[in-house]
Structure 1
Amino acid sequence: MEWLSNQNHVLLALLATLTTWALTALGASMVFFFKEINQRILNTMLGFAAGVMIAASFWSLLAPAIDMAEDSFLPAWLVAAIGFVGGAAFLGLADKIIPHTHFNSKEGENEGISTKLRRSILLVFSITLHNIPEGLAVGVAFGAVANGINDISIMSAVAVAIGIGIQNFPEGAAVSIPLRREGLSRKKSFFYGQASGVVEPIAGVIGALAVTFIRPILPYALAFAAGAMIFVVVEELIPEAQSGNHKSTHLATAGCIIGFAVMMILDVALG
């Protein structure tokens, strides 16, 4: 029965991340209604996404990781630090290896290994990197529930999924509409936009399975997901959100504050 219960939580993680992927696709569908996206709106969207990820990193991942690590033979702060730095290092390595580019990058200003892939594909790879830690965060949260951790209830895991899903909607639009501006058709722009979220269910299942059957890694896994998400925020979202004139950057800052508040409210209210 315990094994069946664990499997149920893996299934819930899969369903939750399929939902966040669906919200990415819903956001990407905005390309059928709009060809352009105002810079201020784009910056606000990116700022909002950053705020949600920062709040989720602390309230839903890092704080519970520290509480769980109290029973570890290592100091709790060291366990959290190891996982947190490990998550950031993992994304940092992926950032160096996986070829990608950013919306504000000029032609030829690509990152990762050298490639001749089209700029549109490299843009999708960039957003896909964002979604790896998001999927892991949801999966690890549901895995923690399967382990009977008092600090994380099923509603806390649901709150993580809701928060990630909310910020995935504008993120999907922030991918597909600029791709349309790059010259792709509406259908291709939508396809690539929603495809950037495919990695979330994969990462979610991996995260849930790992912590469900290897209980001692749970606090490390939670902190790992937090570190990876913060890396994305600092390396990708905030710099892109702060591009443009002062008015658009102010809106990005406001979006970040609102996103943080929304995720904090969700986590505290549902958790």
Structure 2
Amino acid sequence: MEVEGAIVDWFKGLEPTTQALVGTLFTWGVTALGAAFVFFFKSVNRKVLDAMLGFAAGVMIAASFWSLLNPAIEMAEGMGQTSWVPATVGFLAGGAFLWGIDKILPHLHLGYPRKDAEGVKTSWNRSVLLVLAITLHNIPEGLAIGVAFGALAYDIPGASLSGAVILALGIGIQNFPEGLSVSVPLRREGFSRRKSFWYGQLSGVVEPIAGVIGALAVVMIRPILPYALAFAAGAMIFVVVEELIPESQYHRNEDTATVGAMLGFAVMMTLDVALG
């Protein structure tokens, strides 16, 4: 509690957009930390990796409700709007947005053969497609953090600095296996440790960009705030259902991945309810 309080106090002296930038730079840093494990290991046990992917899915599901949808409903009520409308419209719009990107952006899910690449057809090699798949995961995560911090520009129910910090912390925790899941497979395919690390951390670069965009959008246009929170939640749930859960169970480690998801959900829920 003391550590969490000290972090929150430090954030109080920053503008919301700067807070969003710092929060997403942290999550990018955790992605790089996971990618750095390639300097020590050439491979990771498949069950361990699937458990990590399941954990990431659990964190994102819990964050989508406690850190995004629930505050969106509270904010809509506080702003005199019909509470369920922004949550529903924003949630579905976020899913539709990621669905569109998923159909356009060339990418390849972890563990899948090259012929199963999604998006528009391209001659890009497997390594680039793997990086783009994780980058796709990170867009809604960056938006979520940015919107959560941007909401602090207004004194309305549902927006809290501690909640935004906890969201960044939770997403940072689940970013660790994402960096690892890119760098280690690249190393196994013959890339040098340095190149594998570079591509692994590169997948997290989009988070600070999306975070700042999300924060600026809600700071400039207050009425869209509950919609923006729900939008980020919908985008995150799309990623979980479309990519993280199938990837974690592709190699028939269903029980391991499910236990990881349950633990991830419990950890994020505890962080948000106990400290948020």
Same fold (TM over 0.5): yes
Q: How far did 1:37 drift?
A: 1.2
State the SS of the aligned residue for 1:11: helix
**Which of 230, 234, 237 is the equivalent residue of 2:241?**
234
**Which of 241, 255, 262 is the equivalent residue of 1:257?**
262
Aligned mates of 1:6, 1:221 — CA distance in 2 = 24
Q: How far did 1:72 drift?
A: 5.6
Q: Is the 8 A contact 2:75 2:226 kept in 1?
A: yes
- Aligned-partner residue type, residue 50 of structure 1: A
State the SS of the aligned residue for 1:244: coil
Q: How far did 1:124 drift?
A: 0.3
- Unaligned 5+ residue runs, structure 1? none
Aligned mates of 1:135, 1:6 — CA distance in 2 = 21
- What is aligned with 1:162? 169
Aligned mates of 1:7, 1:35 — CA distance in 2 = 40
- What is aligned with 1:61? 68
- What is aligned with 1:117? 124
For 1:63-102, list aligned pairs within 5 A: 63-71=70-78, 75-102=82-109
Aligned mates of 2:176, 2:249 — CA distance in 1 = 20
- Aligned-partner residue type, residue 22 of structure 1: G
Q: Is the 8 A contact 1:45 1:174 kept in 2?
A: no
**Is residue 2:239 matched to residue 1:266?**
no
Query: Alpha carbons of 1:137 and 1:259: their partners in 2 closer, same or farther (altered >3 Å)?
Result: same
State the SS of the aligned residue for 2:117: coil
Which string of whole-angstrom CA distances, capped at 9 and with x for unpartnered residues, describes residues 206-246 of structure 1? 0011111111000000000000000000000000111223x
- What is aligned with 1:215? 222
- Aligned-partner residue type, residue 122 of structure 1: L
- Aligned-partner residue type, residue 261 of structure 2: C
Q: Is the 8 A contact 1:6 1:212 kept in 2?
A: no
Moved segments of 4+, more than 3 Å: 71-74
Q: How far did 1:107 drift?
A: 2.4
- What is aligned with 1:21? 28
State the SS of the aligned residue for 2:32: helix
- Aligned-partner residue type, residue 22 of structure 2: L
Aligned mates of 1:181, 1:102 — CA distance in 2 = 16
TM-score with structure 1 setting the length: 0.94
Aligned mates of 2:163, 2:79 — CA distance in 1 = 23
Aligned mates of 2:54, 2:90 — CA distance in 1 = 25
- What is aligned with 2:38? 31
- Aligned-partner residue type, residue 93 of structure 1: G
Q: How far did 1:7 drift?
A: 7.2
**Is residue 2:249 matched to residue 1:224?**
no
- What is aligned with 2:9? none
Aligned mates of 1:53, 1:22 — CA distance in 2 = 18
Which string of whole-angstrom CA distances, capped at 9 and with x for unpartnered residues, describes residues 170-211 of structure 1? 211111101111221111110000000000000000001111
Q: How far did 1:153 drift?
A: 1.2
Identity of counterpart residues, as a percentage? Answer: 65
Q: How far did 1:108 drift?
A: 2.1
**Which of 188, 191, 202 is the equivalent residue of 1:184?**
191
TM-score with structure 2 setting the length: 0.93
Aligned mates of 1:178, 1:223 — CA distance in 2 = 33
